[in-house]
Structure 1
Amino acid sequence: MKILVIVAHPSINESIVNKHLATRWSQEENVTVHYLYTEYPDRKIDVQREQELLLAHDRILFQFPLYWYSSPSLLKEWQDVVLEYGWAYGTQGTKLHGKEFGLIISTGGPETAYQAGGFNHYSISELTKPFQATANLTGMRFLPTYAIQGVRTLSPEDLSIEAERMIKHF
């Protein structure tokens, strides 16, 4: 199985967690790690290139820090322009049918903050409904999300353990 990990972090070189996770992915066979903000610093997305990347892989994973209960803006822009009507959805839009789709999300707050009665009131599953709907619309199978939470308090050893869990999860 060929896996595409689309990393959407606006300052990946300053990130401890997302940089570590992406580096861990790059050690796996049949995995392509694709850094959106590095690839498109001008935010002008090459739609054809991105669609070719999607076609060349069986499993597509979005990796990002949770920003305002969603993804960083370039990933949203990527979805808007790459997942075109007639290509990714619609009567002729079947290019992604049968592929797998998943999320790797990091949060600064702990897991207890993301639940009913918690600080943020909503679970990660509730906050990722738009991604689940995207999978449904495009004919992909949505995989259980891997959330690494409370990243501000992770030791380097904890981060390494989480990275291994993430690999096994997908």
Structure 2
Amino acid sequence: MKLMVIAAHPNLNHSRANRALARELKNHTDIHFRDLYQEYPNWSIDVEKEQQLLLQYDRIVFQFPFYWYSCPPLLKKWFDDVLTFGWAFGPGGDHLKGKEFLVATTTGGTEGGYRSGGDNWFTISELLRPIQRTLMRCNGTYLPAFITYNADKGSDEYLEQEAKKYAEHIQASMRVLVH
């Protein structure tokens, strides 16, 4: 399985949690890791390049910090620019059929805060539904997300453990993830 991770953190070098996840992936030479903010500092996304990259991989992982119950703005722009009508969905929009998509996100909140009636009122799965639906509308298979809670308060050891779990999760077979 060919796997690409698209990281979208406005300041990856200053993020303890997302940087730990990215650092762990460097130990896996079969994972293609990209930093969207580094590649597009002027926010001018090369749509054709991005679409061609999507065609080359079986599984695409979107790694980002959970911002105001969503993804960072450059990733939202990426979705809007790259996943176009006639290419990703609609008539002739079947280029992503059979692709697997997965979200990996970090949040400063606790797992208990992301439950029905918790601090955030909804589960993280419910809050990720717009991204899930977008990817499913593009004929992709949406796999269970990987979430790192307490990202801002976690010790270095905790983040290293999460990073190892992350690498295992994104490489696991669909049968294992969708049990």
- TM-score, length of structure 1 as denominator length: 0.97
Structure 2 counterparts to residues 59-74 of structure 1, below 5 A = 59-74=59-74
Structure 2 counterparts to residues 124-143 of structure 1, below 5 A = 124-143=124-143
Percent identity over paired residues: 45
Q: 1:78 Cα deviation (Å)?
A: 0.2
Q: 1:135 Cα deviation (Å)?
A: 2.1
CA distance in 1, matches of 2:113, 2:13: 27
Point out which structure has higher relative CO (alpha carbons under 8 A, 6+ apart).
2
Structure 2 match to 1:13: 13
Unmatched runs of 5 consecutive residues or more in structure 1: none
Q: Which amino acid aligns with 1:112?
A: G
Unmatched runs of 5 consecutive residues or more in structure 2: 171-179
Q: CA RMSD in A?
A: 0.9
CA distance in 2, matches of 1:38, 1:168: 25
Structure 1 match to 2:146: 146
User: Secondary structure of 1:139's partner?
Assistant: coil
Q: Contact 2:113 / 2:119 at 8 angstroms: preserved in 1?
A: yes
CA distance in 1, matches of 2:37, 2:153: 26
- TM-score, length of structure 2 as denominator length: 0.92
Structure 2 counterparts to residues 100-115 of structure 1, below 5 A = 100-115=100-115
Structure 2 counterparts to residues 70-89 of structure 1, below 5 A = 70-89=70-89
Residue 26 (structure 2) pairs with residue 4 (structure 1): no
Structure 1 runs of 4+ aligned residues shifted over 3 Å read: none
